Amino acid sequence: MDDLEPCGMLIKKIHDALEKEANNELREKGLTLGQMQMLITLNNSENGTAFLKALESSL
């Protein structure tokens, strides 16, 4: 039982692996995951505009 990792560390490893995979896929389009999140936020906003505070909170 000594080789078990805490749940939080496992979740972080999964998150990091998914983020790395997403960045690798997006690199082909010249984007990062953070840039894609920003574009999604703008796309979902009214008229494609948003206040900086809204963009900050979405990231």
| Per-residue pLDDT tens digits for 5-32 | 789 999 999 999 999 999 999 999 999 9
Residue 50 sits at φ, ψ, to 5 deg, of -155, 150
CB 12 within 8 A of CB 19: no
Which is it for the CA torsion 13, 59, 35, 44, positive or negative? positive
Nearest to 41 by CA among 26, 28, 58, 24: 58
Confidence of residue 1 (pLDDT cuts 50, 70, 90): very low
pTM above 0.85, yes or no: no
